[in-house]
Amino acid sequence: MIDFKRFRLENGLILLVHTDYSTPIAAVNLLYKVGAKHENPEKTGFAHLFEHLMFGGSVNIPVFDEPLERVGGENNAFTTNDLTNYYITVPVENIETALWLESDRMLSLAFSQKSLDVQKSVVIEEFNQRYLNQPYGDVWLNLRPLAYKVHPYRWPTIGMSVEHIQKATLDDVKEFFYGHYAPNNAILCIAGPIDDVKALELTKRWFGSIEPRNIDRKAIPKEPEQNEHRRLTLERDVPFNAIYKAYHMCNRMHPDFPITDLLSDLLSNGRSSRLYQRLVKEKQLFSSVNAYITGDVDEGLFVLTGQLYENTSFKMAEEALNQELEELKVKLVKTDELDKVKNKFEANFIFEQESVMVNALNLCYYEMLSDANLLNLELDRYNAVTAEDIKRVANQVFDVKNCSTVYYKSNLINEN
């Protein structure tokens, strides 16, 4: 049970306070409700670009990291298709440094052509290294637009094209900043050895004077139901053939979400899982195989991936994967197997709560979903999953018409 208090400042900023005197460290987590799905399709990659720009200095703080390093703090950030999250850990006596840093860059970044050019270069280099010049790196640049035709999940957080970042102007990024990075589009959580009265006082001191802004709330189109099996073959200079299969699944708030999550764990969570035991160890069709969900807020994807041994054809690989999915559709999973993945989930869930930083992040995330207290109900949702639930959802999700398949073909193997 994670106790917390919730406040809302007059400018719309939501503050969550989780008091924990078991640690001398305080966590300051600031979640902005902006991710890649909120971008203009003609200007993608901006949320991720801002993850970098936000460390480029703000109106009163030329170098973001220096004040934090002087007081023993650490920070980082990440961007998803749904959100952007910035977090700082710092000895609690220095917590105002963290609040000063976060509030100042919310107030106004130090927009300059020089800073923008530097961060664009960093992001473009990341695009090239991680997505274009790395083996299998471009699979999501191809699999997403195969599975999504309307919803903005069709592009990854790095962006649809490197040209969108190359063409980003100072006016473009200012417009994106003032349309999304505002107190009335953010959730702040302070966790650690500090009471809610003090936390609220400090938050008002550092964030209270920042004016709310007009948030860019464009309607996000819903992806229509997929009614055909989509296929794509890519040929690249990679060491092994690989297969990727993506099925549309429910959204994060749907009652079937924990069922679908456990379904992926049954298939591939650990070496005792079905796919590893049967397709890697026994049949030796794959050198590695995996199943996971994207965990998106809107309707996401259930993904199967595998790297094939040289003697394994794509047909053999796909039939083997399909056979495992078909079994889940017709046979009830045994109680001990289901209990095993539930226990793993519970152990990880409880272990994570030892960290004030993770608690701060999770409280912000669940508040974004609708209510931070959902975090305290999550274990019950997972423990309530039955074998009949697994079978029902497997039948819903693993429909061939709901699937997008990529054959990632190795030119190196074909040359031999």
What pLDDT sits at residue 413? 78
> What domains does the chain contain, in order, with CATH numbers?
5-208 (3.30.830.10), 230-410 (3.30.830.10)
Chain centroid to CA 24: how far? 29
What would the two tokens of residue 233 be? 């073959």
CA dihedral 179, 80, 246, 314 (to 10 degrees): 130
For residue 37, pLDDT beyond 60: yes
List pLDDT tens digits, range 283-337.
Answer: 999 999 999 999 999 999 999 999 999 999 999 999 999 999 999 999 999 999 9
Instruction: Write the DSSP symbol of residue 38.
Output: G
Confidence band, pLDDT 50/70/90 cuts, at residue 237: very high
Count CB neighbours of 2 within 10 A. 17
- Percentage of the chain with pLDDT > 70? 99
What would the two tokens of residue 81 be? 């298709």
Count CB neighbours of 278 within 10 A. 18
Mean pLDDT of all residues belonging to the chain: 95
Q: What is the mean pLDDT of residues 337-351?
A: 96
List pLDDT tens digits, range 129-164.
Answer: 999 999 999 999 999 999 999 999 999 999 999 999
What pLDDT sits at residue 414? 58
Check if the beta carbon of residue 273 is closer than 8 Å to that of residue 292: no
